[in-house]
Amino acid sequence: MTERKSIHGLWSGRLAFILAATGSAVGLGNIWKFPYITGENGGGAFVLFYLLCIAMIGIPIMMAEVMLGRRGRQNPIATMQTLSLEEGASSNWKWLGVMGVITGMMILSYYSVIAGWALSYFFEATTGVFNGITAKESADHFGSLVGSWDTLLGWHTMFMGLTLYVVSKGVRGGLEKAVTVLMPALFILLLVMVGYAMQTDSFQKGLSFLFTPDFSKLTKESALIAMGHAFFTLSLGMGAIMAYGAYLPKNVSIAGAGISIALADTAVALLAGMAIFPIVFANGLEPSSGPGLIFTTLPIAFGQMPYGNIFASIFFLLLIFAAWSSAISLIEPAIAWLVEKTGVTRLRATALMGGATWLLGIGSILSFNVWSDATFIDKTFFDWMDYLTSNIMLPLGGLLIAVFAGWLMRKKSSQEELGLSGVLYGIWSFLVKYVAIIGVLIVMLKVSGAMDWAINLVSNG
């Protein structure tokens, strides 16, 4: 096969790709979602099952998505169109690329709104707003923020501006430069937070909660949540990893890079838990306080601790960096498509696609205030955006990537691109063709309610 070339350029090497893809994977899900779902599902046993799912489902699909991206060397839509033709499959596979591009823009539209909360909290933390704050005051403070649509619009606009500035500079000048600063800074900030947590009397209790398995607390529901989060945390199924794979030099091992990315992503999630749970326990707060753990529970903890405003500032800056590194990957597939399809400059493509995404985000902003009562089947605009992307489009995208890479792509093609043979190729092939597909199907069926319906049907026989 003649080596294709990306018109957008390539990463400078293996490290740049790993930092970029890890930046895509590491986001609000690691630092906001992972700690609270771990808290809600019993701690250690949940973490252990989550790690197993990363190894058995996450890594094989990540390798498949990177492989498709590098082999196609184009935006996800054109890549799937080219590869389906090359592998003798239906041209309708281009719709997998279309779905990935749309999914990334949809996620970024509301992701930017949540990242705006972190921006707001960072600036407030630096001024000591959370010093001595009570539980009621913290809840009221968060309610006041989300209840003000114009304030949210300002923060959403600022975050989108930061994101679009980086992406407009291109692969080497924008994306790579950003992640080579953001990712090391993120790890340093995390380690500072862990060091701070180590000074509390509850550090050992936090570690025990996170790493001591109590399998009596691992329910079927918890196992499914772990499986779903393992899939979503690696940014799979939204076109971002495929787009980043298109910029990967030929001499870089996809398997080695995929494992490194998964390890780095998991390390961030575990470090976040090591930083957060001791602080929560030290202040007599509940680790199972749900989505409010970061924006209502933690400010109370920081407000009661020595130098709390400093460490609250560090924590919310960490959250901003994590969100920023993910956001640039979410919009990249759409920009790459527009540049390749129409020939417009990258700057103009960024303005057009970024503007459309920013506009879509206004719907999520209004969901928390002006449109809070405007629901469709008990869900607001924000709820629907989150539900459709997280529960339908992402797993469907991952499932179809696994089907195409495992079942439709010729063995010679995948072996050539992955650089694997023998037992190692056999393991990847088995995991992506059977384990990953079955795992994602189980998550999708559970989310849709079809599994519960079937179980009830059988039990009521």
In a domain, 3, yes or no: no
In a domain, 8, yes or no: no
Angle, vertex CA 80, rays to CA 78 and CA 81, nearest 5: 60
**DSSP-assigned letters across all residues of 253-280:** -HHHHHHHHHHHHHHHHHHHHHHHHHHH
Which whole number is the average pLDDT over 258-263? 93
Work out the percent of the chain whose per-residue pLDDT is above 70: 95
**Bridge partner residues of 376 (DSSP):** 379
* Highest mean pLDDT, choosing among 88-102, 383-397, 438-452: 88-102
- When pLDDT is cut at 50, 70 and 90, the band that residue 395 belongs to is confident
Could you tell me which of 179, 158, 166 has the C-alpha nearest to residue 358?
158
In a domain, 426, yes or no: yes
Domain ranges, residue 267? 14-460
pLDDT of residue 1: 58
Contact in structure between 399 and 429 (CB atoms under 8 Å): no
Could you tell me which of 111, 96, 92, 195 has the C-alpha nearest to residue 159?
111
> Using one digit for the tens of pLDDT, what is the confidence trace for 115-129?
999 999 999 999 999
Could you tell me which of 239, 252, 330, 256 has the C-alpha nearest to residue 63?
256
Reply yes or no on whether the pLDDT at 181 is more than 80.
Answer: yes
Reply yes or no on whether the pLDDT at 249 is more than 60.
Answer: yes
In a domain, 9, yes or no: no
55: CB partners within 8 A, 6+ apart: 262
Domain count, the chain: 1
Reply yes or no on whether the pLDDT at 149 is more than 50.
Answer: yes
Which whole number is the average pLDDT over 442-457? 62
pLDDT of residue 289: 61
pLDDT of residue 37: 82
In a domain, 350, yes or no: yes
pLDDT of residue 22: 93
Reply yes or no on whether the pLDDT at 453 is more than 80.
Answer: no
Helices (H), 199-307: 203-211, 220-232, 240-245, 254-282, 292, 298-304
Work out the percent of the chain whose per-residue pLDDT is above 90: 62
In a domain, 20, yes or no: yes
Q: What is the CA radius of gyration of the chain?
A: 22
Q: What is the CATH number of the domain that holds 370?
A: 1.20.1740
Measured CA to CA, the distance from residue 183 to residue 171 in angstroms comes to 16
Could you tell me which of 110, 180, 97, 59 has the C-alpha nearest to residue 323?
110
- E strands within 140-294? none
In a domain, 7, yes or no: no
In a domain, 6, yes or no: no
Higher pLDDT, 239 or 390: 239
DSSP 8-state symbol, 13 = S
364, two tokens: 């999520």
> Using one digit for the tens of pLDDT, what is the confidence trace for 293-331?
788 888 988 888 888 899 999 989 998 999 999 999 999
pLDDT of residue 27: 82
Cα dihedral across residues 100, 106, 109, 112: positive or negative? negative
Contact in structure between 240 and 332 (CB atoms under 8 Å): yes
pLDDT of residue 452: 57
Query: What mean pLDDT, rounded, does the chain reach?
Result: 90
> Using one digit for the tens of pLDDT, what is the confidence trace for 334-353?
999 999 999 999 999 999 99
Reply yes or no on whether the pLDDT at 288 is more than 70.
Answer: no
Measured CA to CA, the distance from residue 34 to residue 202 in angstroms comes to 20
Contact in structure between 66 and 235 (CB atoms under 8 Å): no
- When pLDDT is cut at 50, 70 and 90, the band that residue 390 belongs to is confident
